[in-house]
Each structure stands twice: as C-alpha cells, then as structure tokens.
C-alpha cells in the first residue's frame, strides 16, 4: 500500500515528465482506437454484409479448363487443334432437366428461376426499329411470296454474335442476333433479376407464364409505333436460319423504355437495340422450339439458384459436387463475387490501419522505454535511499511500475475518448480516399484496354435486352447491370465506433506498453547497489 501511495505522490510531483508521457500514450491510444475500430468494422462488414441479402448461385461450364486440356493435346503444342477445341465444348451445356435435378439434390436451395433468349428475323409486316434504310429494304427484297422475310431479312440477320444473349455468367453458344431478341422468363423472379434498364407499362398487361399464355409477348412502345401496332394485334416473325419457318405472336402489353435506347457498338445488329427487345414466357419460347439446343441457336439457358446465405451457398456447392456434377463445371455466386469486390477499399484500409497501428506502437513503445530509463537515472539517489532503509528492490521497481501504470491509464483514457470521437469521420475520410483510388485504377484500366467505350455501349444495349421487372404501382424496376458494362459499387462508409471490445483491446495495449517500458527500468533498478549509490552521492 505504501508503494501505491508513494507512486501517486511521485506522479503529482513530476508533472512535466508525466504530462509528456500522457500525451504520448494518448496519441498512441487515439491511433490505436481508430485502427482497431476500422479493423472491427471491416470484419463486421465481411461477416454480416450478406446476412440480410438473398444469395444466388449458378453452375457454369469451365470453358478455360476444357480449352487448356484440348490445347495440351494439340499435335505441335503451339498451333491450336481447333477440332479438338470444338469437340471439348460440344454437348457440354446443361439442359433444364439437369439444372432442376441439381436443385432437388440440395436442401440449401430455396427457389430457382431461369431465362433464355433467341433471335428472330423481320418480315414484311413486322420490321425492327433501325436508322439504317438497308434493314427495311433488305427485308422487303428478301421476303418470300407468303410475306415472310428471308434469313437475310435485315442487316442484322446475317450477323452472328458468339455467346451474345442472356447467357450472362453462364456463358453461351453462338446465337444469330437477327432483328429482334426474344427473351423468355420462367417467373417474375427471373424478370426482376434480368440485366435490364428501367421500364414502365404503357398499355396492356404482362404475359403469363403457364401454357395457357403461350404466344403472348410484350414489345417496346418504340417498336409498336414503328410498326403501327397496338395491344391485341398479332405479329409474325421468322426464324433466323430458316426463312420459311415463322412464328405468330400476340401482343398483350406495350412497355416504355425509360433507359438508354442507343444500340451496342460493333455492328451487332438490330437485335442489340433495346427497342427491338421482345419479352415472353419461357413456356412460349419452348413451345416455339427456340429453347435449348434448337436449330435456331438460342443462347445458353441462364439458370439461377436462390439460397439463404453464404453458408447455404457453400453447402449447395458441396451438394451438387456430391450429386455427380462433373469437374468440367464450376459453381459460382455473382452476389458473393460482387460483394467481395465491393470490400476491396475497406480491406485495403484495414491493412493500412494495421500497419499504422504497428508503427505507432513500435515508435511509441521505444519512446516510453527511453523516457522511463531517463526517469530512473534521474531518480537514482531515491532508489539508493529506499533500498538502503530496507525496502526490497522488487518493491521499489513495483513503485515505478505503478507510477507508469497510472500515467499510462490516464493517457489511455484521454486517447480512447479522442479516438472514439474521431474514429467515424476519420475512418470514412480515409475510406473515401481508398474508394477514389480504386475507382481511379478501374477507370485507368478501362481506358487502357478500351473498356470505357465498350462498357458504356454494352450497358445501354444490355439494359434494353433484359426484361422489365414488375414493381409496385404498375412500374418496372431496374435489374442487375450487365457484367461487362457495370462498375463495382464499393462500400463507401462504415460505422467504425469504439465498442466495448475495442476498449478492452486498448486496455491490453496500455498494459503491454506499461510492462514493456517498465521492464527496462526494472532491469536498471535491479543492477543498482544502494551503498554504492549513497557513496557516489557523498
């Protein structure tokens, strides 16, 4: 008890030195509080960010793996064996039955939805919206005696876009783009999650999904005006590869495209124009023979599994592998991938905070050790007197430890208070800098590889090609952005408040600083000989 009381008196007596120590400890504590709160916020965001978000999963063909294996089997090892490449990819696409089978094998799957697209060609009575006069004239000149367009019915009909369509992350076979893009959906969930722009219903209603609604379509307002069509009219479109094969479709609704209506770059045809997007049910697409491996060359089926959480996604991935899914296929989650990408600036900030914390602790600890050693040297005579009157060196050393502990805890409290006040604004300011740096890097890469132009064009095109998602009030909500044209939405703010756990870590840091900086003083005190100290003083 004497040691504690004497330690407090010495703290009051040596105000200047102890104030300096308090300032140093407060700075260390404030920096530590901000750094620890940033790391805690980053961990919390990673752990709970997807907790209230529906996670989707998809099964896709690992094309790069198959092509790499085929290239290894090439004759000379340098020239690709194109025949082997084509054979390695042929017949590998999963059917609707396959996708549904894997959905039943895992209890982690809550629901599923899917969509698929196919190209259609124009006829003399049904023309695409186009600024090119060659499209219309070409369709008319190539039309058959029955009024249907030939396979070269427009400038876009003769063009083929490999993998273009609703394959999305699933990847797809080549699809003749034609003049119109007909997309069939399995349910409202498929519509709501399609890569589309912003739409509202102008007149009529949305198509149904069962067989009784087969043949029902909705078209854009621009396409309806271009062809002088209204709800209830029937249109005829042709197969892109067989001009003699036509399809009769009934317009049940007309939607207004409120997003961009510019066509995609690169001359990808009229089907890339969002005004020429036609939406229907998957049942209709299937009844027309335009789904799956049809002669029309429809895109790969875009099948999505809905699971409850990231953990459920991991369970689903294990279940489908156990159910016999070949190693030629991979299981992925766009939601998890996008969320992980959004955490990049926050992860970088957390690493920076940890590095800064270690530097501050290292420098601060070295300064405290030096100050404590100088303090012991200045009070060498006091140590000699205390030990000479019979107080053990251990108690004398404990007194100095208590002194430093008192000063450290006061400085720690001040620093923690300052850190708690500054943690949120400072953290968000630093995070904003990280986000800006990441966006700048992304923009630089886009400009370097020309993706800025392509992304913008594809974004406009893909927005029109997707489906209008039913929303409250009869409107349509925007779906997911296209994979090529989108930009990552980074986490730009965090609630990095100083919590109880951070305070506990700060206390441990204070104790560690006290022990480390006191250790040198204890070693010095133990080496002192009291009689020698008094003799030198005399």
Contact 325, 305 (CB under 8 A): no
| Crossing angle of the two packed helices 500-527 and 344-378, in degrees rounded to 10 | 30
pLDDT of residue 36: 87
Per-domain residue ranges for the chain?
A: 2-47+344-442+492-537
Alpha carbon distance 538, 533 (integer Å): 9
Q: What is the pLDDT of residues 44-89, one digit of tens each?
A: 877 777 666 778 999 988 877 777 766 666 555 556 666 766 766 6
Hey, how many other C-beta atoms are within 10 angstroms of the C-beta on 210? Answer: 8
Q: Is the pTM of this model over 0.75?
A: no
Residue 128 confidence (pLDDT): 93
Going by C-beta distance under 8 Å and a sequence separation of 6 or more, which residues neighbour residue 350?
A: 38, 39, 42, 43
What's CA 169's distance to the chain center, in Å? 14
**How distant, in Å, are the alpha carbons of 59, 283, 326, 334 from that of 102?**
10, 21, 12, 18
Residues for the chain: how many in total? 538
- pLDDT for residue 225: 93
* Residues of the chain falling short of pLDDT 70: 1-3, 7, 50-52, 69-82, 84-85, 87-91, 131-177, 196-198, 258-268, 292-299, 442, 444-488, 491-493, 496, 521, 525, 527-538
What is the C-alpha to C-alpha distance for residues 198 and 187, in angstroms, rounded to an integer? Answer: 18
pLDDT of residue 216: 95
pLDDT value at position 165?
Answer: 34
Q: Which residues pair with 60 in a beta bridge?
A: 330
Of 266, 285, 56, 62, whose CA–CA distance to 164 is shortest? 266
Are 278 and 183 spatial neighbours (Cβ–Cβ below 8 Å)?
yes
pLDDT number for residue 217: 95
Over the Cα atoms of the chain, what is R_g?
35
Residues whose CB falls within 8 Å of the CB of residue 413, separated by 6 or more in sequence, listed in order = 29
């Amino acid at each position: 008890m004497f040691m504690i009381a004497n330690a407090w008196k010495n703290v009051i007596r040596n105000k200047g030195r102890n104030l300096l120590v308090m300032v140093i400890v407060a700075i260390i504590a404030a920096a530590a509080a901000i750094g620890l709160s940033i790391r805690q916020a980053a961990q919390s965001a990673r752990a709970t960010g997807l907790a209230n978000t529906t996670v989707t999963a998809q099964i896709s063909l690992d094309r790069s793996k198959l092509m790499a294996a085929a290239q290894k089997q090439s004759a000379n090892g340098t020239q690709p064996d194109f025949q082997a490449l084509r054979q390695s990819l042929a017949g590998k696409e999963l059917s609707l039955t396959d996708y549904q089978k894997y959905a039943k094998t895992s209890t982690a799957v809550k629901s599923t939805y899917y969509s698929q697209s196919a190209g259609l060609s124009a006829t003399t009575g049904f023309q695409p919206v186009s600024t090119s006069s060659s499209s219309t004239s070409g369709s008319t000149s190539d039309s058959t005696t029955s009024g249907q367009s030939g396979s070269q019915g427009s400038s876009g009909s003769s063009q083929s876009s490999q993998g273009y369509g609703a394959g999305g992350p699933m990847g797809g076979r080549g699809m003749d783009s034609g003049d119109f893009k007909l997309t069939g959906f399995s349910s409202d969930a498929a519509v709501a999650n399609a890569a589309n722009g912003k739409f509202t219903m102008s007149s009529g209603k949305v198509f149904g999904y069962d067989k009784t609604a087969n043949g029902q379509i909705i078209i854009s307002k621009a396409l309806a005006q271009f062809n002088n069509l209204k709800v209830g009219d029937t249109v005829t479109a042709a197969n892109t590869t067989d001009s003699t094969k036509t399809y009769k479709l009934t317009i049940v609704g007309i939607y207004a495209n409120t997003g961009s209506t510019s066509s995609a770059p690169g001359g990808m045809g009229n089907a890339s124009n969002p005004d020429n997007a036609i939406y229907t049910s998957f049942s209709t697409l299937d009844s027309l023979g335009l789904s799956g491996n049809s002669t029309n060359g429809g895109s790969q089926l875009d099948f999505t599994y809905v699971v409850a959480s990231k953990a459920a996604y991991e369970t689903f991935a294990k279940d489908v592998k156990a159910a016999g899914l070949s190693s030629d296929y991979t299981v992925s989650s766009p939601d998890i991938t996008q969320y992980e990408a959004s955490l990049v600036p926050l992860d970088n900030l957390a690493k920076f905070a940890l590095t800064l914390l270690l530097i501050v602790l290292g420098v601060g600890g070295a300064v405290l050790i030096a100050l404590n050693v100088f303090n012991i040297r200045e009070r060498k005579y006091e140590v000699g007197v205390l030990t000479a009157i019979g107080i053990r060196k251990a108690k004398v050393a404990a007194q100095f430890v208590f002194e430093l502990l008192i000063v450290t805890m006061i400085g720690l409290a001040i620093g923690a208070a300052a850190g708690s006040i500054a943690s949120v604004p400072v953290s968000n300011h630093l995070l904003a800098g990280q986000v800006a740096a990441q966006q700048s890097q992304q923009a630089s890469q886009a400009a370097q590889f020309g993706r800025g132009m392509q992304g913008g064009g594809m974004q406009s095109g893909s927005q029109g090609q997707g489906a209008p998602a039913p929303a409250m009030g009869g409107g349509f909500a925007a779906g997911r952005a296209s994979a090529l044209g989108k930009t990552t939405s980074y986490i730009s703010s965090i609630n990095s408040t100083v919590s109880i756990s951070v305070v506990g870590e700060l206390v441990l840091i204070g104790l560690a600083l006290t022990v480390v900086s006191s250790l040198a003083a204890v070693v010095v005190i133990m080496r002192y000989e009291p009689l020698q100290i008094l003799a030198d003083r005399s």
